[in-house]
Amino acid sequence: MDNVIVYAVISLSAIGVTSAIVLYFVAQKFKVIEDPRIDVVEGTLPGANCGGCGFAGCRAFAEGIVKAGKLDDFNCPVGGNSTMAAIAKALGLEAEEKDPMIAVLRCNGNCDYAPKKLNYDGPATCAFAHNLYSGESGCPYGCLGLGDCVVSCKFDALYIDEKTGLPVVDEDKCVACGACVKACPRGIFELRLKGKKSRRIFVSCINQEKGAVAKKNCEVACIGCSKCFKVCAFDAITMENNLAYIDDEKCKLCRKCAPECPTNAIHELNFPPRKPKAEETAEVPKEPVTADSKA
């Protein structure tokens, strides 16, 4: 009986020792030397794995930075400047200050402006509806309102407004990862500079049809009249394919273009109310009252 126990112990120990020796040499042979800085960089990242930086996840982004040894082409949109500064500090590099961006929906074709002509009852995904037909309002460029962008958003920054049927960007939550830009089959979303005090001016339409055709389906479509283009003193507005586009890098937020637009396609966000002109004074005080009563 005793012998059995002794043999077992000896043979198992022998197997263990041999395996340990083999494993030691194998480990030496196949050793992967990983830069310890990758872990450090990864530790500073938000860990959302959103892919907004263009890499497969935060770890891949960290590996990319450490491998490149510079920060020029790298930006974590979620963490923003503070994260990039932390990475720079960890790696002993200089981080360039980048202006924060935000996703902007360039369509304002809600139920009032672009009334529904058809009733869609197929699968509720924009990708499918876009393949199938031009949309309930008839505008082939407009928002389909089925919410592929909402599904794609990992930061809960998008929701469909029930009244307008359009997605709304939550400014506090949006980190400009660009998931919605990729998800929208019509390319309506754009990442634009967030602007000082979140003030932004943009053309809220991407319809490239001729003015009359676009206007037929949607009251607030850009009709390509070039009025804003003429009034802009900074060459920030370009006209192409019957559509005005405001370059956010060049725009000085002077607000001259918005009142020129005959269809109110140019949107101003987060600006203080305009000083009322003589004939508009009667209308302006009314607005806050209705807003309060609704709330």
Partner 1 sequence: MVLSTFKIGGVHPPENKFSSGAAIQPLPIPGRVFVPITQHLGAPAKVMVNRGDEVKTGQLLAKSSGFISANIHSPATGKVFRIEEAIDQSGYKRMAVIIDTTEDVWAEGIDTSPDIIREISMSREEIIQRINDMGIVGLGGATFPTHVKMMVPDGKHAEYLIINGVECEPYLTSDHRLMLENGEEMLIGTAILMKALGVKKAMVGIEANKPDAIGHITKLAAKFQGITVHALKVKYPQGGEKQLIKALTGKEVPSGKLPIETGCVVDNVGTAFAVYEAVQKNKPLIERVVTITGKAVKTPSNFRVRIGTPIQHLIEHAGGLPENLGKLIGGGPMMGKALVSPEAPIVKGSSGILLMPVEEARRTIVKNCIRCSRCVSVCPMGLEPYLLAQYSRLEMWENAEKERIMDCIECGSCHYICPSGRPLLDYIRLGKANVGKIIRTRGKI
| Contact set with partner 1 (CB under 8 A) | 117-118, 121-123, 125, 127-128, 131-135, 138, 140, 209, 213
Helices (DSSP H) in the chain: which residue ranges? 2-29, 36-44, 58-68, 80-91, 126-132, 148-152, 179-183, 211-217, 227-231, 257-260, 286-294
Q: At what angle do helices 58-68 and 36-44 cross, to 10 degrees?
A: 130
Q: Which two tokens stand for residue 50?
A: 């959103």
Nearer to partner 1, 55 or 128 (CB): 128
Looking at beta carbons only, is 117 or 274 nearer to partner 1? 117
Residues in the chain: 295
Q: How far is the CB of 116 from partner 1 (least distance, A)?
A: 12
Write down the least CB distance from residue 117 to partner 1, Å: 8
Q: Residue 193 or residue 213: which is nearer to partner 1 going by CB?
A: 213
* Pick 131 or 293: Cβ nearer partner 1: 131
Closer CB to partner 1, residue 72 or residue 121? 121
Which of 130/256 has CB closer to partner 1? 130
Q: How far is the CB of 144 from partner 1 (least distance, A)?
A: 12
Shortest Cβ 216–partner 1 spacing (Å): 11
Question: How far is 142 from 222, CA to CA, in rounded Å?
Answer: 12
CA-based nearest residue to 166, from 240, 112, 216: 112
Give CA–CA dist 204/217, Å, rounded: 15
For 68, 156, 279, the CA distances from 181, given in Å and listed in that order, are: 27, 15, 41
Q: What angle do CA 281, 283, 284 make, to 5 degrees?
A: 70
CB of 263 to partner 1, least distance (A): 20
Q: How far apart are CA 122 and CA 258, in angstroms?
A: 38
CB of 57 to partner 1, least distance (A): 17
